[in-house]
Amino acid sequence: MRLHNLKPRPGAKHRTKRLGQGESSGRGKTAGRGGKGQTARSGSSIRIGFEGGQMPLIRRIPKRGFNNTQFATRYIGVNVGDLNVFDDGAKVDETALRSIGLANGPGDGIKILGTGELTKKLTVSASAFSAAAKTKIEAKDGSVELFTRKKATAPVKA
């Protein structure tokens, strides 16, 4: 078999339905655009949520309460089992985890999670630890150091 012999399986390819090719074609007359109006015209695009000038639903419903998402602490999770890539007796911190590619992206710190088994004695420094991760690290005579980082706060408008 060569590249010039390759072809799709029978039935895998079929001709696309051509729009506006007469009334008996199955896509004639309005060519699948329905009747008249804004959406039947060429070049029409209506943004999501637009209701023809009526006050949109998202603006009609009341907005009450407080949402904490902008103030929430977002940790980057790293499993205990992934720490086995480090040498025995190594000091593992945020820069070491980022350099090896275990912690990527923005976050307010790193949290060590308890999934997997640890086989080496490590000194782990992170912003947070799950209870299972802490016991697994300390079971291998490793040590756990809590590292707190000041979070950038949004300026308060007076």
Structural domain spans, the chain: 72-146
Query: Whole-angstrom Cα distance, residue 67 to residue 70?
Result: 8
Exposure string over 52-76, b if 16+ CB within 10 A, otherwise e: eeeeeeeeeeeeeeeeeeeeeeebb
Query: Whole-angstrom Cα distance, residue 112 to residue 78?
Result: 5
Query: Whole-angstrom Cα distance, residue 104 to residue 88?
Result: 23
Q: What is the pLDDT of residue 66?
A: 87
pLDDT digits (tens, 9 = 90+) for 59-69: 999 988 888 88
CATH code for the structural domain at 72-146: 3.100.10.10
What whole-number percentage of the chain has pLDDT above 70?
A: 94
Q: DSSP secondary-structure letter at 105?
A: S
Whether 148 has a pLDDT exceeding 90, the answer reads no
38, 41, 47, 49 alpha-carbon torsion, rounded to 10°: 30
The separation between the first and the last C-alpha atoms of the chain, rounded to the nearest angstrom, is: 74
Stretch 31-35: mean pLDDT: 90
Helix (H) and strand (E) counts in the chain: 3, 6
Contact 147, 126 (CB under 8 A): yes
